[in-house]
Amino acid sequence: MTITKTAACILTGALLSTTVSAEQLWSDFSLSYLNGSEYEVGDDDRQVVTVEHASGHSWGDNFFFLDRLKSSNGDTEHYFELSPRLSLGYLTNSELSFGPVKDLLLAGTWESGEGFDNYLAGVGVSLDVPGFRYFNVNLYHVNNELKDNDRQLTLTWGLPFELGSAEFLYDGFLDWSTEESDHAAEMNFTSQLKWNAGKLFGTKAPVYVGVEYAHWNNKFGINGVDERSPSLLLKWHF
């Protein structure tokens, strides 16, 4: 078993042991639909249905999503990620916040797609950035099943704002991974700009409509395969 897989197992075990007495602070579940074009590697046009769940706890936080992708040629595939983070402040019963840093965490991710499983383990930081609902930074060592292992930097953010009485949310992620002997360095900057149309219908939870744009250099580590993919978006929170 590799060091990264071992770290992922330790993190999972630690989470299981802490959830017995843990307090859930917040939870969010959503279902979204994307219809986009200009995809690289495979068919150009795709529809994506995504189930997401995020939650915060006294021990840290967790994020999960599952994509079902259907191409215009009829091909389908599935991909999911499970990303728990364990608070070092909780583990040590210490106050670790300083300046813009709210907490330091152990971070892990399990990526699973058609024929592969990747395991990521590292450290994370939760930041208090004015105006942002959340801003997180994670640094991982990645155990890749189908290519050489690498390192990855991940940023995630959520920025709510209002224009008059209209509510908007700009959120997304940036993944940057290192170049290795069998693949190029990757940079995937994917973000969503969404308007809460649910206010028109009086829903308590947001119902967003908007756009997603993926700016992905060297997709899947393939040198020169650069994706610029816009998608229409509908996202319903429960």
- Residue 17 predicted with pLDDT over 90: no
pLDDT bucket at 117, cuts 50 / 70 / 90: very high
Neighbours of 39 (CB within 10 A): 21
pLDDT bucket at 20, cuts 50 / 70 / 90: very low
**pLDDT tens for each residue of 180-221:** 999 999 999 999 999 999 999 889 899 999 999 999 999 999
pLDDT bucket at 22, cuts 50 / 70 / 90: confident
- Domain ranges, ordered by start, for the chain: 3-237
CATH entry 2.40.230.20 includes domain 3-237: yes
